Chains A and B, each alone.
Chain A
Amino acid sequence: MNPWREAWEAAAEGLVLVEAGRVRYLNPTAARLLDADPLRAEGRPAALVLRHHRLIELLEAGGSARIALRGRRVAVRAQGGRLYLRDVTEDERLRETLEQERRMLAHEFRTPVAGLAGLIEVLDGDPAADEQAQALSLLREEVARLERLARGQGQAHTPPWRLDELRPRLERLLPGARELEWSTPHPLTADRDRAFQVLLNLVENALRYGRPPVRVRTRREDGAVAVEVVDAGPQLADYERLFVPGRRGVHAAGVRGSGLGLALVRRIARGWGGDAYGRRLEEGNAFGVMVPEGEGEEDA
Protein backbone atom coordinates (compact mmCIF):
# COMPACT_ATOMS: atom_id res chain seq x y z
CA MET A 1 0.00 0.00 0.00
CA ASN A 2 1.10 3.53 -0.76
CA PRO A 3 2.67 4.90 2.47
CA TRP A 4 0.57 8.10 2.37
CA ARG A 5 -2.58 6.08 2.08
CA GLU A 6 -1.42 3.75 4.84
CA ALA A 7 -0.85 6.77 7.11
CA TRP A 8 -4.37 8.09 6.47
CA GLU A 9 -5.87 4.64 7.08
CA ALA A 10 -4.64 4.87 10.68
CA ALA A 11 -5.49 8.55 11.24
CA ALA A 12 -7.89 9.66 13.99
CA GLU A 13 -9.08 12.47 11.70
CA GLY A 14 -11.45 11.60 8.89
CA LEU A 15 -10.46 12.39 5.30
CA VAL A 16 -12.63 12.39 2.18
CA LEU A 17 -10.90 13.11 -1.10
CA VAL A 18 -13.17 14.18 -3.97
CA GLU A 19 -12.22 14.62 -7.62
CA ALA A 20 -14.65 15.79 -10.33
CA GLY A 21 -17.62 15.25 -8.00
CA ARG A 22 -16.65 11.64 -7.19
CA VAL A 23 -15.08 10.19 -4.07
CA ARG A 24 -11.49 9.24 -4.78
CA TYR A 25 -10.61 8.12 -1.26
CA LEU A 26 -12.29 7.82 2.14
CA ASN A 27 -10.37 6.75 5.24
CA PRO A 28 -11.88 4.45 7.92
CA THR A 29 -12.54 7.31 10.37
CA ALA A 30 -14.51 9.24 7.74
CA ALA A 31 -16.37 6.06 6.75
CA ARG A 32 -17.39 5.54 10.38
CA LEU A 33 -18.55 9.15 10.83
CA LEU A 34 -20.47 9.09 7.54
CA ASP A 35 -21.79 5.54 7.99
CA ALA A 36 -20.46 4.68 4.53
CA ASP A 37 -18.81 1.57 3.13
CA PRO A 38 -15.23 2.65 2.21
CA LEU A 39 -14.87 -0.06 -0.45
CA ARG A 40 -18.08 0.92 -2.23
CA ALA A 41 -17.59 4.64 -1.74
CA GLU A 42 -14.60 5.07 -4.02
CA GLY A 43 -15.65 6.23 -7.47
CA ARG A 44 -19.23 7.08 -6.44
CA PRO A 45 -20.74 10.59 -6.64
CA ALA A 46 -19.78 12.53 -3.50
CA ALA A 47 -23.40 13.53 -2.81
CA LEU A 48 -24.37 9.87 -2.46
CA VAL A 49 -21.58 9.14 0.01
CA LEU A 50 -21.77 12.33 2.08
CA ARG A 51 -25.61 12.49 2.16
CA HIS A 52 -25.58 15.81 4.02
CA HIS A 53 -26.31 19.12 2.32
CA ARG A 54 -23.89 21.07 4.51
CA LEU A 55 -21.00 18.76 3.66
CA ILE A 56 -21.73 19.18 -0.04
CA GLU A 57 -21.93 22.96 0.31
CA LEU A 58 -18.61 23.01 2.18
CA LEU A 59 -17.01 20.82 -0.44
CA GLU A 60 -18.11 23.26 -3.14
CA ALA A 61 -17.38 26.53 -1.35
CA GLY A 62 -14.61 25.57 1.13
CA GLY A 63 -14.46 26.74 4.74
CA SER A 64 -15.24 25.11 8.05
CA ALA A 65 -18.26 24.34 10.23
CA ARG A 66 -19.48 22.19 13.08
CA ILE A 67 -22.33 19.89 12.19
CA ALA A 68 -24.34 17.08 13.77
CA LEU A 69 -23.68 13.73 12.10
CA ARG A 70 -25.54 10.68 13.39
CA GLY A 71 -25.62 11.85 16.97
CA ARG A 72 -21.98 13.10 16.95
CA ARG A 73 -20.70 16.67 16.74
CA VAL A 74 -18.18 16.89 13.95
CA ALA A 75 -15.81 19.73 13.08
CA VAL A 76 -15.44 19.86 9.30
CA ARG A 77 -12.80 21.67 7.29
CA ALA A 78 -13.03 21.74 3.51
CA GLN A 79 -10.17 22.66 1.24
CA GLY A 80 -9.78 22.04 -2.50
CA GLY A 81 -11.80 18.84 -2.81
CA ARG A 82 -10.71 17.52 0.58
CA LEU A 83 -12.93 17.21 3.65
CA TYR A 84 -11.28 16.77 7.02
CA LEU A 85 -13.63 15.49 9.72
CA ARG A 86 -12.90 15.57 13.45
CA ASP A 87 -15.25 14.13 16.08
CA VAL A 88 -15.51 16.84 18.76
CA THR A 89 -18.42 15.37 20.73
CA GLU A 90 -16.35 14.59 23.83
CA ASP A 91 -14.43 17.90 23.63
CA GLU A 92 -17.67 19.87 23.56
CA ARG A 93 -19.11 17.86 26.44
CA LEU A 94 -15.95 18.42 28.50
CA ARG A 95 -15.92 22.13 27.74
CA GLU A 96 -19.53 22.42 28.80
CA THR A 97 -18.82 20.59 32.08
CA LEU A 98 -15.82 22.80 32.81
CA GLU A 99 -17.79 25.95 32.09
CA GLN A 100 -20.52 24.78 34.45
CA GLU A 101 -17.94 24.02 37.17
CA ARG A 102 -16.47 27.49 36.75
CA ARG A 103 -19.88 29.11 37.06
CA MET A 104 -20.73 27.03 40.12
CA LEU A 105 -17.50 27.93 41.87
CA ALA A 106 -18.04 31.62 41.11
CA HIS A 107 -21.57 31.31 42.48
CA GLU A 108 -20.28 29.69 45.68
CA PHE A 109 -17.79 32.48 46.30
CA ARG A 110 -20.00 35.47 45.58
CA THR A 111 -22.16 35.51 48.74
CA PRO A 112 -19.42 34.59 51.26
CA VAL A 113 -17.08 37.21 49.78
CA ALA A 114 -19.81 39.85 50.19
CA GLY A 115 -20.15 38.67 53.81
CA LEU A 116 -16.41 38.91 54.34
CA ALA A 117 -16.49 42.48 53.03
CA GLY A 118 -19.12 43.19 55.68
CA LEU A 119 -16.85 41.79 58.40
CA ILE A 120 -13.95 43.94 57.20
CA GLU A 121 -16.21 46.99 57.46
CA VAL A 122 -16.98 46.01 61.06
CA LEU A 123 -13.24 45.85 61.80
CA ASP A 124 -12.72 49.21 60.10
CA GLY A 125 -15.30 50.83 62.33
CA ASP A 126 -13.17 50.54 65.51
CA PRO A 127 -15.29 47.87 67.22
CA ALA A 128 -15.18 46.80 70.87
CA ALA A 129 -12.54 44.17 71.67
CA ASP A 130 -14.95 41.22 71.89
CA GLU A 131 -16.67 42.15 68.63
CA GLN A 132 -13.32 42.52 66.95
CA ALA A 133 -12.24 39.08 68.17
CA GLN A 134 -15.48 37.54 66.95
CA ALA A 135 -15.24 39.18 63.52
CA LEU A 136 -11.60 38.07 63.15
CA SER A 137 -12.43 34.53 64.14
CA LEU A 138 -15.31 34.40 61.63
CA LEU A 139 -13.04 35.83 58.94
CA ARG A 140 -10.42 33.14 59.57
CA GLU A 141 -13.00 30.38 59.67
CA GLU A 142 -14.66 31.51 56.44
CA VAL A 143 -11.37 32.03 54.61
CA ALA A 144 -10.32 28.51 55.65
CA ARG A 145 -13.64 27.13 54.44
CA LEU A 146 -13.36 28.87 51.06
CA GLU A 147 -9.81 27.61 50.74
CA ARG A 148 -11.01 24.05 51.32
CA LEU A 149 -13.83 24.62 48.84
CA ALA A 150 -11.42 25.84 46.17
CA ARG A 151 -9.22 22.79 46.74
CA GLY A 152 -12.29 20.57 46.49
CA GLN A 153 -11.74 19.17 49.97
CA GLY A 154 -14.36 18.47 52.58
CA GLN A 155 -13.86 18.95 56.27
CA ALA A 156 -12.51 16.08 58.35
CA HIS A 157 -15.10 14.05 60.22
CA THR A 158 -16.63 15.74 63.20
CA PRO A 159 -18.78 14.18 65.92
CA PRO A 160 -22.55 14.62 65.54
CA TRP A 161 -23.45 18.29 65.51
CA ARG A 162 -26.55 20.42 65.23
CA LEU A 163 -27.43 22.65 62.32
CA ASP A 164 -27.98 25.73 64.53
CA GLU A 165 -24.27 25.66 65.38
CA LEU A 166 -23.85 27.29 61.95
CA ARG A 167 -26.27 30.06 62.87
CA PRO A 168 -23.77 32.73 64.01
CA ARG A 169 -21.69 32.33 60.82
CA LEU A 170 -24.76 32.46 58.65
CA GLU A 171 -26.07 35.61 60.34
CA ARG A 172 -22.75 37.41 59.98
CA LEU A 173 -22.45 36.53 56.30
CA LEU A 174 -26.08 37.07 55.39
CA PRO A 175 -27.60 39.91 57.43
CA GLY A 176 -31.20 38.95 56.45
CA ALA A 177 -30.67 35.58 58.18
CA ARG A 178 -31.14 37.21 61.62
CA GLU A 179 -34.89 37.07 61.06
CA LEU A 180 -34.96 33.28 60.63
CA GLU A 181 -36.85 30.95 62.95
CA TRP A 182 -34.86 27.83 63.86
CA SER A 183 -36.05 24.40 64.87
CA THR A 184 -33.20 22.00 64.21
CA PRO A 185 -32.92 19.44 67.03
CA HIS A 186 -31.70 16.45 64.97
CA PRO A 187 -27.97 15.71 65.05
CA LEU A 188 -26.11 15.56 61.74
CA THR A 189 -22.88 13.78 60.83
CA ALA A 190 -22.48 15.20 57.32
CA ASP A 191 -19.56 17.44 56.42
CA ARG A 192 -20.08 20.89 57.96
CA ASP A 193 -18.58 22.86 55.08
CA ARG A 194 -20.90 21.25 52.58
CA ALA A 195 -23.87 21.60 54.95
CA PHE A 196 -23.03 25.28 55.29
CA GLN A 197 -22.98 25.65 51.49
CA VAL A 198 -26.41 23.98 51.35
CA LEU A 199 -27.82 26.16 54.10
CA LEU A 200 -26.37 29.35 52.65
CA ASN A 201 -27.96 28.65 49.25
CA LEU A 202 -31.35 27.62 50.63
CA VAL A 203 -31.60 30.55 53.03
CA GLU A 204 -30.39 33.06 50.47
CA ASN A 205 -33.04 31.82 47.99
CA ALA A 206 -35.82 31.99 50.59
CA LEU A 207 -34.84 35.53 51.59
CA ARG A 208 -34.51 36.66 48.00
CA TYR A 209 -37.46 34.99 46.28
CA GLY A 210 -39.76 33.80 49.12
CA ARG A 211 -41.81 35.59 51.73
CA PRO A 212 -41.29 35.86 55.48
CA PRO A 213 -41.44 34.21 57.92
CA VAL A 214 -38.57 31.96 56.84
CA ARG A 215 -37.94 28.89 58.97
CA VAL A 216 -34.99 26.50 59.10
CA ARG A 217 -35.91 23.08 60.39
CA THR A 218 -34.88 19.47 60.49
CA ARG A 219 -37.07 16.37 60.41
CA ARG A 220 -36.35 12.66 60.61
CA GLU A 221 -37.82 10.66 57.76
CA ASP A 222 -37.09 7.10 56.54
CA GLY A 223 -33.60 6.76 57.98
CA ALA A 224 -32.59 10.23 56.85
CA VAL A 225 -32.59 13.72 58.30
CA ALA A 226 -34.32 16.32 56.19
CA VAL A 227 -32.80 19.78 56.41
CA GLU A 228 -35.22 22.29 54.95
CA VAL A 229 -35.91 25.97 54.65
CA VAL A 230 -39.58 26.94 54.51
CA ASP A 231 -40.97 30.31 53.49
CA ALA A 232 -44.52 31.62 53.18
CA GLY A 233 -44.40 32.39 49.45
CA PRO A 234 -47.15 31.46 46.97
CA GLN A 235 -47.21 28.18 45.06
CA LEU A 236 -44.61 27.95 42.28
CA ALA A 237 -45.36 26.64 38.79
CA ASP A 238 -42.64 24.02 38.74
CA TYR A 239 -40.37 22.97 41.59
CA GLU A 240 -38.24 20.43 39.77
CA ARG A 241 -37.22 22.85 37.03
CA LEU A 242 -35.45 25.05 39.56
CA PHE A 243 -32.87 22.31 40.13
CA VAL A 244 -31.74 22.37 36.50
CA PRO A 245 -28.52 24.44 36.19
CA GLY A 246 -29.17 27.86 34.72
CA ARG A 247 -32.97 27.60 35.06
CA ARG A 248 -34.66 30.14 37.31
CA GLY A 249 -38.18 30.53 38.59
CA VAL A 250 -40.66 32.80 36.84
CA HIS A 251 -40.66 35.05 39.92
CA ALA A 252 -36.92 35.50 39.69
CA ALA A 253 -37.10 37.93 36.75
CA GLY A 254 -35.29 41.13 37.63
CA VAL A 255 -33.61 39.63 40.70
CA ARG A 256 -29.87 39.05 40.45
CA GLY A 257 -28.91 35.41 40.39
CA SER A 258 -27.40 32.72 38.21
CA GLY A 259 -29.86 29.86 38.70
CA LEU A 260 -27.09 27.60 39.94
CA GLY A 261 -27.78 27.50 43.70
CA LEU A 262 -30.27 24.66 43.78
CA ALA A 263 -28.35 22.64 41.18
CA LEU A 264 -25.38 22.84 43.53
CA VAL A 265 -27.48 21.94 46.56
CA ARG A 266 -28.68 18.85 44.71
CA ARG A 267 -25.17 17.89 43.73
CA ILE A 268 -24.00 18.06 47.36
CA ALA A 269 -27.04 16.12 48.59
CA ARG A 270 -26.48 13.38 46.01
CA GLY A 271 -22.84 13.24 47.05
CA TRP A 272 -24.14 12.32 50.50
CA GLY A 273 -26.30 9.57 49.02
CA GLY A 274 -29.43 11.66 49.52
CA ASP A 275 -31.23 14.14 47.30
CA ALA A 276 -32.56 17.68 47.19
CA TYR A 277 -36.22 18.57 46.84
CA GLY A 278 -38.63 21.45 46.54
CA ARG A 279 -42.28 21.00 47.45
CA ARG A 280 -45.46 22.83 48.26
CA LEU A 281 -46.63 22.72 51.89
CA GLU A 282 -49.85 24.08 53.28
CA GLU A 283 -48.04 27.03 54.81
CA GLY A 284 -45.67 27.80 51.95
CA ASN A 285 -42.74 26.41 49.97
CA ALA A 286 -40.09 24.06 51.32
CA PHE A 287 -36.67 23.51 49.76
CA GLY A 288 -34.37 21.05 51.42
CA VAL A 289 -32.08 18.05 51.31
CA MET A 290 -32.40 14.51 52.64
CA VAL A 291 -29.20 13.49 54.41
CA PRO A 292 -28.98 9.73 55.09
CA GLU A 293 -28.27 9.15 58.79
CA GLY A 294 -24.68 8.20 59.50
CA GLU A 295 -23.48 10.11 56.39
CA GLY A 296 -19.80 10.98 56.84
CA GLU A 297 -19.16 8.53 59.66
CA GLU A 298 -17.32 6.05 57.45
CA ASP A 299 -14.97 8.86 56.38
CA ALA A 300 -13.63 9.17 59.93
Chain B
Amino acid sequence: MREALDRDLNRITEHFLRMVSLVREELQLATAGLVEQDVEKARQAVRLDREVDALELEIENEVLAAIARHQPVARDLRFLATVLKALTDLERAGDYAAHVAEDALALAGEPPLKKYIVLGEMAERIETMLDLLAKAIAERDLQAAERVLKTDDDVDDLYEQIVRELLTYMLEDPRVLSKALTLMRVARSYERLGDHLENIAERVFFWLTGRLEGPAAAEG
Protein backbone atom coordinates (compact mmCIF):
# COMPACT_ATOMS: atom_id res chain seq x y z
CA MET B 1 0.00 0.00 0.00
CA ARG B 2 2.73 2.43 1.10
CA GLU B 3 4.78 1.41 -1.90
CA ALA B 4 1.94 2.28 -4.29
CA LEU B 5 1.50 5.67 -2.63
CA ASP B 6 5.25 6.37 -2.85
CA ARG B 7 5.21 5.43 -6.50
CA ASP B 8 2.37 7.87 -7.17
CA LEU B 9 4.02 10.63 -5.10
CA ASN B 10 7.28 10.16 -6.99
CA ARG B 11 5.55 10.34 -10.32
CA ILE B 12 3.74 13.52 -9.31
CA THR B 13 7.02 15.04 -8.08
CA GLU B 14 8.73 14.14 -11.35
CA HIS B 15 5.96 15.68 -13.41
CA PHE B 16 5.88 18.81 -11.28
CA LEU B 17 9.67 19.17 -11.69
CA ARG B 18 9.21 18.76 -15.42
CA MET B 19 6.68 21.59 -15.37
CA VAL B 20 9.12 23.82 -13.43
CA SER B 21 11.83 22.99 -15.97
CA LEU B 22 9.50 23.75 -18.91
CA VAL B 23 8.56 27.14 -17.44
CA ARG B 24 12.27 27.85 -17.01
CA GLU B 25 12.93 27.09 -20.68
CA GLU B 26 9.89 29.14 -21.69
CA LEU B 27 11.29 32.08 -19.71
CA GLN B 28 14.75 31.68 -21.27
CA LEU B 29 13.31 31.63 -24.77
CA ALA B 30 11.04 34.61 -24.11
CA THR B 31 13.95 36.63 -22.68
CA ALA B 32 16.21 35.72 -25.61
CA GLY B 33 13.35 36.78 -27.90
CA LEU B 34 13.32 40.15 -26.18
CA VAL B 35 17.01 40.86 -25.60
CA GLU B 36 18.37 39.35 -28.83
CA GLN B 37 15.27 40.32 -30.84
CA ASP B 38 15.03 36.67 -31.85
CA VAL B 39 11.52 36.18 -33.23
CA GLU B 40 11.82 32.41 -33.57
CA LYS B 41 12.74 31.97 -29.89
CA ALA B 42 9.82 34.16 -28.82
CA ARG B 43 7.47 31.97 -30.89
CA GLN B 44 8.95 28.81 -29.35
CA ALA B 45 8.23 30.27 -25.89
CA VAL B 46 4.57 30.80 -26.81
CA ARG B 47 4.34 27.21 -28.12
CA LEU B 48 5.98 25.84 -24.98
CA ASP B 49 3.34 27.54 -22.84
CA ARG B 50 0.72 25.23 -24.34
CA GLU B 51 2.75 22.25 -23.19
CA VAL B 52 2.90 23.76 -19.69
CA ASP B 53 -0.88 24.22 -19.66
CA ALA B 54 -1.47 20.61 -20.76
CA LEU B 55 0.90 19.33 -18.08
CA GLU B 56 -0.96 21.30 -15.43
CA LEU B 57 -4.18 19.40 -16.20
CA GLU B 58 -2.36 16.07 -16.27
CA ILE B 59 -0.75 16.64 -12.85
CA GLU B 60 -4.01 17.89 -11.37
CA ASN B 61 -5.70 14.63 -12.41
CA GLU B 62 -2.83 12.59 -10.96
CA VAL B 63 -3.07 14.42 -7.62
CA LEU B 64 -6.85 13.94 -7.39
CA ALA B 65 -6.51 10.27 -8.30
CA ALA B 66 -3.80 9.78 -5.65
CA ILE B 67 -5.97 11.38 -2.96
CA ALA B 68 -8.96 9.23 -3.94
CA ARG B 69 -6.90 6.04 -4.15
CA HIS B 70 -4.70 6.32 -1.04
CA GLN B 71 -6.50 8.77 1.28
CA PRO B 72 -3.14 10.11 2.48
CA VAL B 73 -2.55 11.91 5.79
CA ALA B 74 -0.04 14.30 7.38
CA ARG B 75 3.01 15.14 5.26
CA ASP B 76 1.84 13.14 2.24
CA LEU B 77 -1.47 14.99 2.21
CA ARG B 78 0.31 18.31 2.73
CA PHE B 79 2.52 17.48 -0.25
CA LEU B 80 -0.44 16.76 -2.51
CA ALA B 81 -2.24 19.90 -1.32
CA THR B 82 0.95 21.87 -1.96
CA VAL B 83 1.24 20.56 -5.51
CA LEU B 84 -2.44 21.15 -6.21
CA LYS B 85 -2.25 24.80 -5.13
CA ALA B 86 1.23 25.39 -6.58
CA LEU B 87 0.06 24.14 -9.97
CA THR B 88 -2.11 27.21 -10.46
CA ASP B 89 0.78 29.52 -9.56
CA LEU B 90 3.17 27.69 -11.84
CA GLU B 91 0.71 27.78 -14.72
CA ARG B 92 0.28 31.54 -14.19
CA ALA B 93 4.07 31.92 -14.11
CA GLY B 94 4.18 30.23 -17.52
CA ASP B 95 1.48 32.61 -18.78
CA TYR B 96 3.58 35.61 -17.75
CA ALA B 97 6.60 34.18 -19.58
CA ALA B 98 4.35 33.83 -22.65
CA HIS B 99 3.27 37.48 -22.22
CA VAL B 100 6.95 38.50 -22.27
CA ALA B 101 7.36 36.50 -25.49
CA GLU B 102 4.31 38.16 -27.06
CA ASP B 103 5.62 41.61 -26.16
CA ALA B 104 9.03 40.60 -27.53
CA LEU B 105 7.30 39.79 -30.83
CA ALA B 106 5.59 43.19 -30.81
CA LEU B 107 8.91 44.95 -30.16
CA ALA B 108 10.98 42.93 -32.66
CA GLY B 109 11.95 44.73 -35.82
CA GLU B 110 12.07 48.12 -34.15
CA PRO B 111 15.29 49.58 -32.74
CA PRO B 112 15.34 48.89 -28.99
CA LEU B 113 14.78 51.83 -26.70
CA LYS B 114 17.88 50.87 -24.79
CA LYS B 115 19.95 47.80 -24.01
CA TYR B 116 17.70 45.57 -21.93
CA ILE B 117 20.21 44.97 -19.17
CA VAL B 118 17.95 45.29 -16.12
CA LEU B 119 15.21 43.17 -17.72
CA GLY B 120 17.87 40.54 -18.47
CA GLU B 121 18.94 40.66 -14.83
CA MET B 122 15.34 40.20 -13.68
CA ALA B 123 15.05 37.15 -15.92
CA GLU B 124 18.31 35.73 -14.55
CA ARG B 125 17.09 36.09 -10.96
CA ILE B 126 13.81 34.36 -11.85
CA GLU B 127 15.72 31.50 -13.47
CA THR B 128 17.65 31.16 -10.20
CA MET B 129 14.32 31.11 -8.32
CA LEU B 130 13.08 28.28 -10.56
CA ASP B 131 16.31 26.32 -10.01
CA LEU B 132 16.02 26.77 -6.23
CA LEU B 133 12.37 25.82 -6.28
CA ALA B 134 13.15 22.58 -8.13
CA LYS B 135 15.89 21.85 -5.61
CA ALA B 136 13.61 22.61 -2.65
CA ILE B 137 10.99 20.19 -3.96
CA ALA B 138 13.31 17.43 -5.14
CA GLU B 139 15.53 17.45 -2.07
CA ARG B 140 13.02 18.71 0.50
CA ASP B 141 15.46 21.53 1.06
CA LEU B 142 14.01 24.21 3.31
CA GLN B 143 16.96 26.56 2.82
CA ALA B 144 16.47 26.50 -0.95
CA ALA B 145 12.81 27.49 -0.43
CA GLU B 146 13.90 30.38 1.77
CA ARG B 147 16.40 31.55 -0.82
CA VAL B 148 13.57 31.70 -3.38
CA LEU B 149 11.84 34.27 -1.17
CA LYS B 150 15.02 36.32 -0.75
CA THR B 151 15.69 36.29 -4.50
CA ASP B 152 12.20 37.60 -5.12
CA ASP B 153 13.16 40.71 -3.12
CA ASP B 154 15.95 41.30 -5.68
CA VAL B 155 13.42 40.94 -8.50
CA ASP B 156 11.17 43.53 -6.83
CA ASP B 157 14.11 45.95 -6.44
CA LEU B 158 15.03 45.55 -10.10
CA TYR B 159 11.40 46.18 -11.02
CA GLU B 160 11.41 49.48 -9.10
CA GLN B 161 14.65 50.41 -10.83
CA ILE B 162 13.38 49.76 -14.34
CA VAL B 163 10.07 51.55 -13.73
CA ARG B 164 11.98 54.68 -12.63
CA GLU B 165 14.26 54.40 -15.63
CA LEU B 166 11.39 54.00 -18.10
CA LEU B 167 9.52 56.93 -16.57
CA THR B 168 12.57 59.12 -17.15
CA TYR B 169 12.67 58.04 -20.78
CA MET B 170 8.99 58.85 -21.20
CA LEU B 171 9.31 62.29 -19.63
CA GLU B 172 12.35 63.15 -21.75
CA ASP B 173 10.91 62.09 -25.07
CA PRO B 174 7.17 61.47 -25.56
CA ARG B 175 7.89 59.75 -28.88
CA VAL B 176 9.13 56.68 -26.99
CA LEU B 177 5.89 56.43 -25.00
CA SER B 178 4.40 53.38 -26.68
CA LYS B 179 7.66 51.39 -26.61
CA ALA B 180 8.31 52.36 -23.00
CA LEU B 181 4.80 51.28 -21.99
CA THR B 182 5.33 47.89 -23.61
CA LEU B 183 8.60 47.53 -21.72
CA MET B 184 6.84 48.54 -18.53
CA ARG B 185 4.41 45.66 -19.13
CA VAL B 186 7.32 43.28 -19.71
CA ALA B 187 8.89 44.36 -16.41
CA ARG B 188 5.53 43.87 -14.72
CA SER B 189 5.24 40.35 -16.20
CA TYR B 190 8.64 39.44 -14.74
CA GLU B 191 7.67 40.91 -11.40
CA ARG B 192 4.38 39.00 -11.27
CA LEU B 193 6.14 35.83 -12.39
CA GLY B 194 8.49 36.24 -9.41
CA ASP B 195 5.50 36.68 -7.07
CA HIS B 196 3.92 33.43 -8.24
CA LEU B 197 7.18 31.59 -7.59
CA GLU B 198 7.29 33.17 -4.16
CA ASN B 199 3.79 31.75 -3.47
CA ILE B 200 5.01 28.29 -4.45
CA ALA B 201 8.04 28.62 -2.17
CA GLU B 202 5.72 29.50 0.71
CA ARG B 203 3.66 26.38 0.02
CA VAL B 204 6.81 24.26 -0.06
CA PHE B 205 7.67 25.75 3.34
CA PHE B 206 4.25 24.62 4.57
CA TRP B 207 4.73 21.13 3.16
CA LEU B 208 8.15 20.70 4.82
CA THR B 209 7.36 22.28 8.20
CA GLY B 210 3.60 21.96 8.60
CA ARG B 211 3.53 25.63 9.54
CA LEU B 212 1.26 27.90 7.58
CA GLU B 213 3.13 31.14 8.16
CA GLY B 214 5.97 31.86 5.72
CA PRO B 215 9.61 31.93 6.80
CA ALA B 216 9.55 35.75 6.91
CA ALA B 217 6.83 35.63 9.60
CA ALA B 218 8.64 32.83 11.41
CA GLU B 219 11.82 34.94 11.57
CA GLY B 220 9.96 37.97 12.84
The chain A residues found within 8 Å of chain B, CB to CB, are 35-37, 40, 45, 47-49, 51-54, 56, 68, 70-71, 237-238, 240-241, 244, 249-250
User: CA separation between A71 and B24, bound complex, in Å?
Assistant: 12
B111 near A238 with CB under 8 A, answer yes
Q: Is B115 in contact with A48, judged by CB distance below 8 angstroms? A: no
Q: B92 near A: Cβ within 8 Å? A: no
- B18 CB–A CB distance under 8 Å: yes
Q: List 19 A-B contacts (CB under 8 A).
A: A45-B14, A47-B14, A47-B17, A48-B13, A48-B17, A48-B138, A51-B17, A51-B21, A51-B131, A51-B135, A53-B18, A53-B21, A54-B25, A56-B18, A71-B124, A238-B112, A240-B114, A241-B111, A244-B115
Q: Is the CB of A237 within 8 A of B111?
A: yes
CB-CB under 8 A from B10, the residues of chain A are: 45, 48
B100-129 interface mask toward A, CB cutoff 8 Å, 1 = contact, 0 = none? 000000000001111100000000100110
Q: List, in ascending order, chain A residues with CB within 8 A of B111's CB.
A: 237-238, 241, 249-250
Q: Contact check, B131 vs A241: say whether CB atoms are below 8 A apart.
A: no
- Kindly state the separation between the CA atoms of A53 and B20 in the bound complex, as whole angstroms: 9
Does B39 count as interface, using CB distance less than 8 angstroms? Answer: no
Extra contacts besides A36-B139, A71-B128 (12): CB < 8 Å: A37-B139, A45-B10, A45-B14, A49-B138, A51-B20, A51-B21, A51-B138, A53-B18, A53-B25, A70-B128, A241-B111, A249-B111
Q: A70–B17 contact, CB under 8 A?
A: no
**Interchain nearest-CB distance for B137 vs A (Å):** 8
Measured between beta carbons, the chain B residues less than 8 angstroms from A70 are 128, 131
Q: At the interface, yes or no: B189 with Cβ under 8 Å from chain A?
A: no
**A9 CB, nearest partner CB in chain B, Å:** 21
B82 interface residue, CB < 8 Å from A? no
Known: A68-B28, A241-B112, A241-B115. A47 touches B18 (CB 8 A): yes
Q: Give the residues from 151 to 184 in chain B that come closer than 8 angstroms, CB to CB, to chain A.
A: none
Which of A35, A51, A52, A71 has most chain B Cβ within 10 Å?
Answer: A51
A35 and B135 form a contact (CB under 8 A) = yes
Complex Cα distance, B18 from A237, in Å, reads 43
A249-B14 Cα distance, complex, nearest whole Å:
48
Closest A residue to B19 by beta carbon equals A53
Q: Which residues of B contact A (CB under 8 A)?
A: 10, 13-14, 17-18, 20-22, 25, 28, 111-115, 124, 127-128, 131, 134-135, 138-139
The B interface, classified by DSSP as helix, strand, loop or mixed, is helix
Residues of B near A53 (CB, < 8 A) are 18, 21-22, 25
Listed residue (A36, A48, A241, A244) with the most chain B CB atoms within 10 angstroms of its CB = A48
Q: Which A-chain residue is minimally distant from B28 (CB atoms)?
A: A68
Q: What are the residues of chain B within 8 A of A37 when measuring CB–CB?
A: 139
Instruction: Give the residues in chain B near A48, CB-CB below 8 Å.
Output: 10, 13-14, 17, 138-139
CB-nearest residue of chain B to A53: B21
By a CB distance below 8 angstroms, the chain A residues around B134 are: 51
Once the chains are docked, how many angstroms separate the CA of A244 from the CA of B117?
13
* A71 CA to B139 CA, complexed, in Å: 20
What are the 4 tightest A-B residue pairs by CB atom distance, in nearest-first order? A47-B14, A53-B21, A48-B138, A51-B134
Chain A residue numbers with a CB within 8 Å of B128 are 70-71
Specify which chain A residues have a CB less than 8 angstroms from the CB of B20 in the assembled complex. 51
The interface residues of chain B lying within 8 Å CB-to-CB of A36 are 139
- Given A47-B14, A237-B111, does the pair A52, B139 have CB atoms closer than 8 Å? no
Q: Please, how many angstroms separate the alpha-carbon atoms of A53 and B21 in the complex?
A: 6
Q: How far apart sit A73 and B185, CA to CA, in the bound complex (Å)? A: 29
Distance A37 CA – B144 CA, assembled complex (angstroms): 13
User: Known contacts A68-B28, A70-B131: does B18 contact A40 (CB below 8 Å)?
Assistant: no
Q: List A contacts of B113 (CB < 8 A).
A: 238
Task: Tell me the minimal C-beta distance from A177 to chain B in angstroms.
Answer: 28
- Give CA–CA (A244, B36) in the complex, Å: 12
* A40 nearest in chain B by CB position: B139
Q: Whole-angstrom distance between the alpha carbons of A250 and B128 in the complex?
A: 35
B contact residues around A47 at 8 Å (CB): 13-14, 17-18
In the complex the two chains form, what is the Cα distance from A249 to B127 in whole Å? Answer: 32
B11 to chain A, nearest CB (A): 9
Q: Which residues of A contact B112 (CB under 8 A)?
A: 238, 241
Chain B residues with Cβ below 8 Å from A249 are: 111
Q: Chain B residue with minimal CB distance to A248?
A: B111
Cα–Cα distance between A237 and B135 once the two chains are bound (Å): 45
